[in-house]
Amino acid sequence: MKHTVEEVVLRNGAKGLLVHMPDAMVMDVYINFRAGEYLVDGNKWEAPHLMEHVLLGANDIYPRARDFQAEVEKNGAYSNASTDVYDIVYETECADFEWERVIKLLLLAIERPLFLQEEFDAEFGNVREELSARANNHFRQLGANTRKAYGLVAETDRERLEVMQNVTLEDVRAHYRRTHTTDNMRFVVAGNIGKRKSAIVSLLNDIHLPNGERFAMPDEIVKPLAKPVCIPNATVDTVYFYIDAFMNRRLEEHEVDSLGLVNAILTETLYSKILGTARERGLIYGMNSGYQQIKLSSNLWFGGQVSAVNASALFDIVVEQLGNLFRGELAEADIDAAKAYAIGRYQRSAQTVASTAQGYTNRYFFDEYIDDYYKIPERIKLVTKQSIVDVTRAVFADNLGGLGVYGNCTPELAQALSGQISELWK
């Protein structure tokens, strides 16, 4: 959607983006606090998550969570919250005609929660059910285990279930008091801002929270794997896997653009070099790759689900195709096709208010960087064969990374597959 972006810094210490879309029929609000699990002791790991659940409950005006949710949703509005290792984000989407009412309700929930014992007890049960359900997500469990093995901040859902009994209502209240301050608050508001700007700024300025601090991201140092992560599960017929490569720095903007095309070239289409080849040979149904960045490092990953008998042949393709990129064996026609795909995907990525806003939230909440959305196609066009080769080599140059497998696997299979991919770091 057509839009403009403005950053505003409030007098209370909060800051954020106003994304103006003159044709929007809804308004989306995202409010972030650096308040994730890395800020609490491991024995209290679930305190941020439980706090997020209870906060959108009873408050000074609405004595029960159900009363508050009924008021929020009465005209079809949506509200939710999420917690991860680093952040908690509260969000709402509502019809344009009731934007002020719904924003006020979200701010009310954030600034004046009651944290009732009975609601804590109920949400404790709900969080237990949530974690139990997630424990059946094999990719999620493998990802958490490999993240821990690399020395990053993480806990598996099963481990979280074991320690959540240590969290009390007072722990929740203490975490709220520590983290929910105006200086720790970032926001993105997207919709028909226009003449409403001053009213929106005033509402956010007047939120009844104390001053505090914007907590720094943790200094996570990636460590080499002593051996591949192997998690056998006799109830699973296939092998879930993640191949990770880390570099000890963050990516430059042109490297981000180039690595995006690496993903398109290797796995994102049915004619891609890895997935397309594997599909032609009947080895795997689906496979993905991606990149992510944390404070001190960057990560390129490949993941999928494959039968044990096909795993070795699939990994041969991974090694072969990455080796081709290392050597610069890449046709210009393949680069042009990846660029066309990436630009088309970009154009599809902002069809709604929410998707447009989310194009800004992740990076802004991470380091307050404001991406220039309209320059992305031109940036994609500027990617060259050499920049693709350079960034692919660079990701593997620090000799950090390895393999995690889950399911129908043995330590011997994991070691054999790890040996196949080890030459990528040579």
Contacts of residue 47, Cβ cutoff 8 Å, sequence gap at least 6: 37, 40, 167, 171, 172, 175
Tokens 């995907």: give the residue.
345
Distance CA(184)–CA(215), nearest Å, equals: 7
Mean of the pLDDT values across residues 371-388? 95
4-205 and 229-425, same CATH topology = yes
pLDDT of residue 426: 86
Q: How confident is the model at residue 340 (pLDDT cuts 50, 70, 90)?
A: very high
Q: How confident is the model at residue 62 (pLDDT cuts 50, 70, 90)?
A: very high
Question: In CATH, what number does 229-425 get?
Answer: 3.30.830.10
Residue 179 buriedness (CB in 10 A; 0-12 / 13-18 / 19+): buried
Supply the DSSP string of 284-343, one letter for each residue: -S-EEEEEEE-SS-EEEEEEEEE-HHHHHHHHHHHHHHHHHHHTT---HHHHHHHHHHHH
Mean of the pLDDT values across residues 62-74? 95
| Res 348 pLDDT > 90 | no
| Res 1 pLDDT > 90 | no
| Res 198 pLDDT > 80 | yes
Distance CA(26)–CA(95), nearest Å, equals: 4
Distance CA(92)–CA(112), nearest Å, equals: 17
Tokens 């505003």: give the residue.
8
Q: How confident is the model at residue 349 (pLDDT cuts 50, 70, 90)?
A: confident
pLDDT of residue 310: 98
Token pair listed for 312: 């070795």
Q: Answer whether 24's CB lies under 8 Å from 93's CB.
A: no
pLDDT of residue 124: 97
| For the chain, percent of residues with pLDDT exceeding 90 | 97
Domain boundaries, the chain: 4-205, 229-425
Distance CA(130)–CA(200), nearest Å, equals: 34
| Res 162 pLDDT > 80 | yes
Question: CA distances (Å), 148 to each of 34, 106, 303, 395, in order?
Answer: 21, 34, 17, 20
Record the pTM.
0.94
Q: Answer whether 176's CB lies under 8 Å from 52's CB.
A: no
Mean of the pLDDT values across residues 116-136? 95
pLDDT of residue 175: 98
| Res 190 pLDDT > 90 | yes
| Res 317 pLDDT > 90 | yes
Mean of the pLDDT values across residues 77-93? 97
Q: How confident is the model at residue 351 (pLDDT cuts 50, 70, 90)?
A: confident
pLDDT of residue 347: 87
pLDDT of residue 236: 96
Question: In CATH, what number does 4-205 get?
Answer: 3.30.830.10
CA-derived radius of gyration, the chain: 23
Run of H or E residues at 363? helix 353-367
Supply the DSSP string of 15-41, one letter for each residue: EEEEEE-TT-SEEEEEEEES--GGGS-
Mean of the pLDDT values across residues 249-253? 95
pLDDT, averaged across the chain: 96
pLDDT of residue 350: 82
